[in-house]
Amino acid sequence: MSLPFIGIPTHNERSKDDLAPPSYVMRQAYTWAVEEVGGAPFLVPLLSDKTTLRALYDQMDGLLLAGGGDLDPARYGEAPDPHLLDVDVLRDRVETIMTQWALSEGKPVFAICRGIQMVNVTAGGTLYQDVPSMCPSSITHMQRYRPRHYRAHTVEVAPGTRLHKSLGGSRIQVNSLHHQAIKDVAPGFVVSARAADGIVEGIESANGKFAVGVQWHPEVLAIEDTAMRQLFADFVEEARAYRAQRLGFSQAA
């Protein structure tokens, strides 16, 4: 059977020249990590037409939600905080639609950084719009002036979760490149990891379907860290099983 397809929605990048049209872009580390564990990644443009979006979604065996800017707080019923950074409403729309489809249909979802926030909000949760100003006792979660693979803080992983099984341990060191975080966890999800200050660093679906989110960036750690690579391997394995089922093969085929 052919490789499982992993769809990765992109984001808009405006040209410095105002007259030039924007581009759809995505960091290469995500496609690298997916391909490395046997998935076939493709990038998803931020189209408007829902029928076209559905056609692209139907080609996916798994949805990967990548890192990026802040979600529009209107998505969880709040006005913008002064600390809110870049919002990309087209990306918000495409990711929300595809996340709704995937969660309701049980298509595997792996969500990273902004992605875990997207899953939480789509499923009915909320966010801290700015951790440093809203959680005064929080540790540093935005590791400015450090390389993206720098391990900024520890995370406690909850035993019995998918995350714990993938990582093979309870206390890990992660990178941290976020100024927002989950506030109210969405109904139907459980917290799978927390930082020492209590900030949520992992959630996953409680209904047995594969919807796993992490607040750090395993795609840049997976190059040298087999536990981080296993997060992608387990996701792609779920996508492989989903593909076999949707195409009518037995899993052994």
Q: What residues are labeled active site? A: 113, 217, 219
Up-side HSE of residue 171: CA atoms within 13 Å toward CB? Answer: 3
Minimum CB–partner distance for residue 39 and Mn ion (Å): 26
Residue with tokens 């408007």: 48
In whole angstroms, give the CA distance from residue 44 to residue 11: 9
Residue nearest to Mn ion (CB): 176
Binding residues with Mn ion: total (CB under 5 A): 2
Q: Does 141 bind Mn ion (CB under 5 A)?
A: yes
Minimum CB–partner distance for residue 231 and Mn ion (Å): 16
Considering only 90-98, 133-141, 164-172, 206-214, which stretch makes contact with Mn ion by CB under 5 A? 133-141
Considering only 4-12, 67-75, 139-147, 236-244, which stretch makes contact with Mn ion by CB under 5 A? 139-147
Which two three-digit tokens encode residue 162? 């998918």
Which two three-digit tokens encode residue 245? 């089922």
Q: Does 176 bind Mn ion (CB under 5 A)?
A: yes
Q: Which is nearer to Mn ion, 46 or 200 (CB)?
A: 200
Cβ 239 vs Cβ 34: under 8 Å: no
198-237 binders of Mn ion (CB under 5 A): none
Estimate the crossing angle of helix 226-246 against helix 28-36, to 10 degrees: 70
Q: Which is nearer to Mn ion, 96 or 154 (CB)?
A: 154
Q: Which is nearer to Mn ion, 117 or 176 (CB)?
A: 176
Q: Which is nearer to Mn ion, 46 or 195 (CB)?
A: 195
- Measured CA to CA in angstroms, residue 90 lies from 48, 93, 119, 250 at distances of 8, 5, 16, 38
Angle at 218 between CA 157 and CA 230, to 5 degrees: 75
Cβ 64 vs Cβ 41: under 8 Å: yes
Minimum CB–partner distance for residue 159 and Mn ion (Å): 20
Minimum CB–partner distance for residue 79 and Mn ion (Å): 25
Which two three-digit tokens encode residue 236? 């792609």
Instruction: Return residues touching Mn ion (CB under 5 A).
Output: 141, 176
